[in-house]
Structure 1
């Protein structure tokens, strides 16, 4: 089974580099000129399917991991028995080490020989180098990004979600409560204010949940667990609010950025000893 690996040291915090990895649009653009095509949504999340091609080899890449440890995706429904892209992140004293690798298994016969040429070491190395360059550049952009906070409010094993009524292309989709951090605020202060403005409740924010998620070119979504201490949530700025159990999480039509957080939200709803 052929395998190729490349490492890059990025001068940025691990969470920032992890956020850069989740930006599907940037990485797709970075490798387009190499004969590699990837189509999908704006961010990578577990379960996302990306239509892709490497030269004449077509298939669908299924994202199997997307968090602060890195990103993994494997080819499904394509001609190769196995094709896996893996990016692992490691914190070091000098920055974040990005370890990119690609592994594939070629079928036998003439097509197998063709696949080894098309997905060969030369092209694979160029893909990894392009990914590394894109991640480094995007990480530098995100170091000074503005923050949009979100609140993962949990009560009795249920998570509070709210449904957007606008803009038109997002109407009906679900998201966590929150909004932009105002000048002079820290993240926790912004969570408290946004929950008061959007829901009419008082909360106490705690630890961060899941990775930072890239939004616009210079914005990140950062979500914190929050405990409800006063009031009953109301849809003051949204179409509706509801309490959601773990079994319902995946079935809601989440905005892409919030969908990235579903694995972490599932962990948040798991019973604690």
Structure 2
């Protein structure tokens, strides 16, 4: 079973590099000049997202199985090979973040399959890994100066508070965590407190950061924090509706793409 691995040291914090990896456009742009096409996944990668890839006439579908602060993994669920997996692991070091990329696949078998591995598969896979590593490094540096939108994961009586957007049209009816942009000179925690007061009419106490940073635009990140209610009853001031979600409700809601990335980190908060 052929396997290739490449490592890259990125001069950026682990969470920033993780955010770069979640940009669904990153891999597609990186491999564009290699005769490989990749599409799908939405604006950001999340568990369960699908990517469609092609090399010449060969096409396949990859399903994302991991997308968090530890890295990103995807596995072939439909395609010409018996098995294909792409794995990126992130490791904090004193000099930055070590990005460990690997690709592993099974050939159809026989002399022809083994020859294809040697002549085509290994060379192309290595080019893809190198191109992706360079793209991740560039995107991470860009995100170092990104502005931040905070989200508040408010859990009360074993349920999570979500709010339904009323605008803009492309987001109306979908759900997200309460929150908003961090103002100049404001800390993330202060922004969580202010936004919850403005959007919900409540006082909250911010807690620990939750899940990975999630890229929203080229220079904007979503950063979520746990929060507890200190005073007041949440009211939908700016949104269409509010809803308290149980653990069984969490995956049934039509979340905005960026908030959907946070679901694996939200589940452990609920009994």
Alpha-carbon deviations, 1:163-222, whole Å to 9, x = none? 001111111110000000001110000000000000111100000110000111111100
Alignment of 1:32 with 2:32, yes or no, is yes
Alignment of 1:263 with 2:257, yes or no, is no
Q: Shift in Å at residue 112 of structure 1?
A: 3.1
Match of 2:16 in 1: 16
Cα 1:117–1:248, aligned 2, differ >3 Å: closer, same or farther? Answer: farther
Decide whether the 8 Å contact of 1:54 with 1:119 is kept in 2.
no
Q: Which runs of 5+ in 2 are unaligned?
A: none
Aligned with 2:217: secondary structure?
A: coil
Cα 1:82–1:232, aligned 2, differ >3 Å: closer, same or farther? Answer: same
CA distance in 2, matches of 1:134, 1:194: 34
Aligned with 1:112: secondary structure?
A: helix
Match of 1:53 in 2: 54
Decide whether the 8 Å contact of 1:64 with 1:73 is kept in 2.
yes
CA distance in 1, matches of 2:115, 2:59: 13
Q: Shift in Å at residue 111 of structure 1?
A: 6.7
CA distance in 2, matches of 1:115, 1:195: 57
Q: Shift in Å at residue 57 of structure 1?
A: 2.3
CA distance in 2, matches of 1:133, 1:87: 13
Q: Shift in Å at residue 116 of structure 1?
A: 2.6
Decide whether the 8 Å contact of 2:26 with 2:132 is kept in 1.
no
Aligned with 1:185: secondary structure?
A: coil
* Cα RMSD (Å): 1.4
CA distance in 1, matches of 2:57, 2:77: 16
Aligned with 1:168: secondary structure?
A: coil
Decide whether the 8 Å contact of 1:67 with 1:210 is kept in 2.
yes
Q: Shift in Å at residue 2 of structure 1?
A: 0.1
Cα 1:61–1:96, aligned 2, differ >3 Å: closer, same or farther? Answer: same
Alignment of 1:194-213 (within 5 A): 194-213=195-214
Q: Shift in Å at residue 114 of structure 1?
A: 7.3
Q: Shift in Å at residue 53 of structure 1?
A: 1.5
Alignment of 1:116-265 (within 5 A): 116=117, 120-265=121-266
Match of 1:95 in 2: 96
Q: Shift in Å at residue 56 of structure 1?
A: 2.8
Aligned with 1:170: secondary structure?
A: coil
The count of aligned residue pairs is 270
Q: Report the TM-score when normalising by structure 2.
A: 0.96
Q: Which runs of 4+ in 1 moved over 2 A?
A: 54-57, 108-119
Aligned with 1:215: secondary structure?
A: strand
CA distance in 2, matches of 1:119, 1:99: 22
Decide whether the 8 Å contact of 1:55 with 1:118 is kept in 2.
no
CA distance in 2, matches of 1:31, 1:109: 28
Alignment of 1:44 with 2:12, yes or no, is no
Decide whether the 8 Å contact of 1:54 with 1:118 is kept in 2.
no
Aligned with 1:133: secondary structure?
A: helix
Cα 1:104–1:23, aligned 2, differ >3 Å: closer, same or farther? Answer: same
Q: Report the TM-score when normalising by structure 1.
A: 0.96
Q: Shift in Å at residue 27 of structure 1?
A: 2.2
